[in-house]
Amino acid sequence: MRAKVSKEAATLLYHGSAHEYKQAKEKAAQSLGVRVLPSNLEVALELDRLTDELEGESRNNLILRLRREALQVMGSLEQFKPRLVGSVWRGTARRGSDVDILVFSPNPEPVLKTLQREYKNIRTRWLTKADGGKANRYFHIYLTLPSRDEVEIVVRNSEDIDRKTVCEIYGDAVTGLNLLQLKEVLKTQPLQKFIPVGKRV
């Protein structure tokens, strides 16, 4: 039954009928008339399988393109210790996915000015996020690349560079890939996935 709920929740997430894992699991369980709720990881693995089934080889091409684009943007931001995170890092990107990059700087202005020298379609905003019971404000920079792919860059304080956060979906540490690591992945295993197994979240 857990597997059935996982499949239904994954389908809801893929087609946009739910946007959060908790919502998707609850809607799936309700539609199946059960109270069993799978872990976030179980749903994420099912969503990954479903995406492979529906998107086929085009998904591999997408992941490869997004990782190469991430490398280019990160190269421009090398001085800010960029780190690729999110679905492009995980290798689970699907249609509509964007590129998520963290950078570290005591002031977002130098990061923005660096990007403005190379990119035109830039938007920015401050967002508040709860981290460990504390509300923190982060500066978000959004790029629209010539390919029409979207990149979201979050500027964090330099002191946060070694701080580990736990992923709410996969239950592991969000380590991501730095510039050198991404180069190595693209050189040796360009479609490598970074997904834990055997955990429940």
Residues 6+ apart with CB under 8 A from 66: 88, 93, 97, 99, 149
* 163 CB burial (10 A radius; 0-12, 13-18, 19+): exposed
d(CA 119, CA 115): 6
Residue in the structure block whose two tokens are 């380590």: 175
Q: How far apart are CA 27 and CA 8, in angstroms?
A: 9
Q: How far is CA 88 from the centre of its chain?
A: 6
Radius of gyration of the chain (CA): 18
pTM of the model: 0.92
Give the pLDDT score at 164: 83
Helix (H/G/I), strand (E/B), else coil: 139: strand
Q: What is the DSSP letter of 17?
A: S
In the chain, CATH 3.30.460.10 covers 57-188
Q: Which among 156, 148, 131, 7 has a CA at the least distance from the CA of 66? A: 148
Residue 200, pLDDT above cutoff 60: no
Helices (H), the chain: 2-14, 21-32, 40-55, 57-76, 86-90, 108-116, 179-188
The pLDDT of 84-103, averaged and rounded, is 97
- Token pair recorded at residue 179: 């510039």
* Average model confidence (pLDDT) across the chain: 94
Look at residue 132 in the predicted model and tell me its pLDDT. 64
CA distance 16 to 27: 13
Return the pLDDT at 201: 45
- Fold topology of 57-188: Beta Polymerase; domain 2 (3.30.460)
Q: Kindly state the average pLDDT of the residues 18-30.
A: 96
Residue 77, SS3? coil
Each residue's pLDDT tens digit, 124-144: 999 998 776 678 899 999 999
